[in-house]
Amino acid sequence: MKRYFLAIIFLGVLLTTLQAQAPRWVEYNQRERMYPSDEYLIGFASASDVAYTDLLMEELVGAAKKELIESIKVSISSESSIKIEAVNTKSNSEYLNRTVSYADADIVGLKSDTYFDSKKKVAYAFVYASYESVKSYYSSFIALATSEVRLAIDNATSFASSGSYGDALTTLLDADNKLFEVKQAQGLLLAMAVEDELTLKVNTTSQLQREVLLKLDEVLKSDGLSIENLSDYLSYRISTLEFKEEDQVFAQASTYSDYPLKSSFGDLLDNYLQEQSKKREVPLVSDQNGTTYTILANYYEAGKDVQVSVNVMAAASGDAVASFNGRVAVSQLESKGIEYVPIEIRKLRTLGEAKLTPQPKTVEVKFNEAIDQPFKMVVTGGSGQPLEGIPFNYQHKTISDIKGDVSSNASGLVEVAVQKISQPKKLQFLNLSVDVGRYLNMQIGDEILERLKADYKVPKTNFIIKLKGLALYIDANETLLGESYQQKMVSNKLKQTFTELGFHFVDDPDGADYYMEVQVASNSGGEFQGLYFSYANVTVSLTNLGSGDEIFTKSYNDIKGGGGSFKSAALKAYTKASNQVSEEIKTQFQ
């Protein structure tokens, strides 16, 4: 009995000792002997000065897997780019640009083990898999997957032939994703020095990839492809970027020809893209702040298609990291009543066909007198129908205070009320142009509005205004130092000024519309060291003979001039006076 009791104690001590002993894989040399690199894929991770938790051990296993995977990826990056060459440039580019990643799915056959040293407070994790088991699985996977892709191509062809383009597209996208998994498996086998074509099926994969791309291109060009089908394809392409776990992606509202304008097509495109991208686990967020990437879809008309381009951009720099394209037939959209052109653009196109017809084009009015009738213009569309509610700005070309806005009525009639024309030029213009901002009723910035005005034709016209009643009679009396002065310096200067203003002169006041009286006199002043001074006095008045109104009247007294004699001094004073009177007269008609 005593011996039996001692044996039990010895067995307990032995079990305790074995339990406390660390597994051999904790030590590097032992790990290498037990799991040689030519027979096993391995990964190892440890953490010191820690307390045991289940979460800690799970994280260490993840870190060990990551080490194993990173070693595979290094091998793949150096081997697969040499060994696996796609047949055409497009598929080759897609393969090389799409990261080969095993982070989200365990390698089949991968096992894990953990150990925690409670005395040293050190945690260990070890993952491993035998080459033979991994090779066996992935070799079988490649053989099965390539067969499935071949069947998928045949099925997609049947779907497309029967007009089921959505089913054809889904089948081809699944096949494309399956081929990517095949390439992952090929890369993994290459990292383990498996190079035979019978196992890898590189040539078969390349041929299948080409067929998938050709069939996909055929389906994408079909007029039966819907906006939802296109969004499915684009969201798939976005998902192939394989965003990191910490990435945040914000989808901006789509634009039309780079204009931030809305349409039912744009709304559907945005909704479908976001909905399908979320299903494909693209990390979309609703707030743009702090995002890693932004997605922007831009669409425009191109012949019988609406072309769509989706850019994925780095949020920090704004640089594009990827771009994907597609199209939907206009006939497909019109059959479902989907409006693909924003209302603002449609209105501008209607406006571009508009015809503006002044009635009449040339208007004769009396200068500076009330105009009883408005200037009239008719606005019609491309087929001659009157256009109602088209707003116009109008502005006089030479007088800034004659301006305003009007709109066409139900008959397409625009009436511009002008009180009078007070600028005495014989030929003038009243310009009219569509007020694009009011017409579109848009709450947009000036920059976008100016772009729209530059990109689309904005109708404009003018009225030609011919003035009547510009005949002027001048009654001038000029003396020089008390004697009659026939050269009439001040009067001649005023004639020059009124000629520039559009007046002509008559010799009989009965044929004149305006009467001007000019009185000019001078007197001598003093003399100082051989310099003589004289003074000019000028009175000018201008009367509208039609209304009897005195338009302008003013006296200029003691305008000083200097010279070598009193006469030359008086002439200098006249020159100064004529310039001053002329400038002030001009201001009355500007």
| 259 touches 299 (CB < 8 A) | no
Helix or strand (DSSP H, E) at 531: strand 531-544
Note the pLDDT of residue 93: 33
Which token pair is 375? 């200037």
How many CB atoms neighbour CB 490 within 10 A?
26
- In the numeric block, the tokens 């686990």 are attached to 281
Helix or strand (DSSP H, E) at 439: helix 436-440
| 491 touches 498 (CB < 8 A) | no
Report the greatest alpha carbon distance in the chain: 166
Note the pLDDT of residue 75: 56
Note the pLDDT of residue 590: 60
| 338 touches 268 (CB < 8 A) | yes
For helices 264-279 and 227-239, give the axis angle rounded to 10 degrees.
40
Q: Which residues lie below 8 Å from residue 86, measured CB to CB, with a gap of 6+?
A: 92, 94, 95, 206, 209, 210
Which token pair is 276? 């399908």
**Mean pLDDT, 10 residues at a time, the chain of 590 residues:** 46 44 90 88 91 93 85 56 35 37 59 92 92 89 96 96 95 95 88 88 95 95 95 95 90 95 96 95 92 96 96 93 95 96 93 94 86 93 93 82 87 92 84 91 77 90 88 92 87 89 88 92 89 94 87 91 92 92 80
Is 132 strand, coil or helix?
A: helix
Burial of 536 (0-12, 13-18, 19+ CB in 10 A): buried
Note the pLDDT of residue 401: 66
Note the pLDDT of residue 77: 52
Phi, psi torsion values for 112, nearest 5 degrees: -135, 155
Note the pLDDT of residue 90: 35
Note the pLDDT of residue 100: 43
Helix or strand (DSSP H, E) at 168: helix 165-191
Note the pLDDT of residue 15: 41
Within 13 Å, how many C-alpha atoms sit on residue 190's CB side? 24
Note the pLDDT of residue 88: 32
In the 8-state DSSP scheme, what is residue 450? H
